[in-house]
């Protein structure tokens, strides 16, 4: 729940426009609301129009403008259309949050080409081409904030999840490399690395009580995260407060990235 509060000037996003991919639920929906509460107008993209429209409606309740655009980030034409429609409507793009992501677990010997392509196309290809699509606008404006959603698995290994781990490792290197290339244009490219956060992708795993017990037991903080735990990092990276922070991944994980988190 977003509480009405006066945003400190350094974190004020009034007049800014943000695109959030995977914005219909989970981390993306919460990120969209956080930025709207700080004053930004929001464009949410994703594959499910009904959830996008629900998020857009909540943003309008915060008296911010909102646009919901059905988008499959695996298709470059969709990504470019998302950016084009944002510019047609708002005339600017200040923040891009690349949140679209998928995951499938299982033994490496059972991974199909279809599974590999689905995960890498969503988690890496879509992210890269979204960055590329907003690049000309941000370079021309000499400002921009790009926030890529990685994972603690960007930094540590996890068996039975190799395609996902490979994709999230790529997110870290994409972030670092693009930050170097676009820093001269005053564009900050950073990432967040959530630990276990209770979204739809995680919630189904916790239907197994024994698995849930083992995962919670391994958390240094004694709990898994909620989407609201990411609010501060997202707002920081989207605002002027992070103008000299570039190429970094902020792990929001209760210290979990310091060790292995898989079930015994």
Lowest mean per-residue pLDDT among 95-104, 135-144, 199-208, 243-252: 199-208
CA Rg, the chain, in Å?
A: 18
Q: 178-197, pLDDT tens digit by residue? A: 999 999 999 999 999 999 99
Lowest mean per-residue pLDDT among 9-13, 52-56, 167-171, 258-262: 258-262
Give pLDDT, residue 5: 56
- Catalytically annotated residues: 164
Q: Return the domain boundaries, the chain.
A: 9-252
Judge whether 93 and 187 are in contact, CB under 8 Å.
no
Q: Is the pLDDT of residue 174 over 80?
A: yes
Give pLDDT, residue 258: 67
Which runs of E-coded beta strand occur in 10-115? 17-21, 41-46, 66-70, 95-98
C-alpha to C-alpha distance for 92 and 90, rounded to whole angstroms = 6
Q: Is the pLDDT of residue 3 over 60?
A: no
Q: Which residues contact 153 (CB under 8 A, 6 or more apart)?
A: 161, 164, 165, 168, 169
The domain at 9-252 falls in which architecture? 3-Layer(aba) Sandwich (3.40)
State pTM to two decimals. Answer: 0.94
The β-bridge partners of 18 are 42, 95
Q: 134-172, pLDDT tens digit by residue? A: 999 999 999 999 999 999 999 998 899 999 999 999 999
């Amino acid at each position: 729940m977003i509480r009405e509060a006066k945003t400190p000037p350094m974190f004020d996003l009034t007049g800014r426009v943000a695109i959030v991919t995977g914005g219909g639920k989970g981390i993306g929906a919460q990120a969209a609301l956080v930025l709207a509460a700080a004053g930004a107008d929001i464009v949410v993209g994703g594959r499910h129009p009904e959830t996008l429209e629900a998020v857009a409606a909540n943003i309008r309740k915060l008296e911010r403008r909102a646009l919901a655009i059905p988008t499959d980030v695996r298709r470059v034409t969709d990504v470019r259309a998302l950016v084009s429609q944002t510019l047609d409507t708002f005339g600017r793009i200040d923040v891009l949050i690349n949140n679209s992501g998928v995951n499938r677990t299982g033994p490496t010997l059972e991974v199909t080409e279809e599974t590999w392509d689905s995960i890498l196309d969503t988690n890496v290809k879509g992210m890269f081409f979204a960055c590329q699509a907003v690049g000309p606008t941000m370079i021309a404006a000499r400002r921009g904030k790009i926030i890529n959603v990685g994972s603690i698995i960007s930094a540590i290994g996890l068996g039975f999840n190799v395609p996902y781990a490979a994709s999230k490792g790529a997110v870290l290197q994409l972030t670092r490399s693009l930050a170097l290339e676009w820093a001269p244009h005053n564009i900050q490219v950073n990432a967040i690395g959530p630990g276990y956060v209770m979204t739809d992708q995680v919630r189904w795993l916790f239907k197994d009580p024994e698995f849930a017990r083992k995962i919670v037991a391994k958390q240094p903080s004694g709990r898994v995260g909620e989407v609201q735990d990411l609010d501060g990092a997202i707002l920081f990276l989207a605002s002027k407060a992070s103008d000299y922070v570039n190429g970094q991944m902020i792990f929001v994980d209760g210290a979990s990235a310091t060790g292995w988190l898989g079930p015994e």
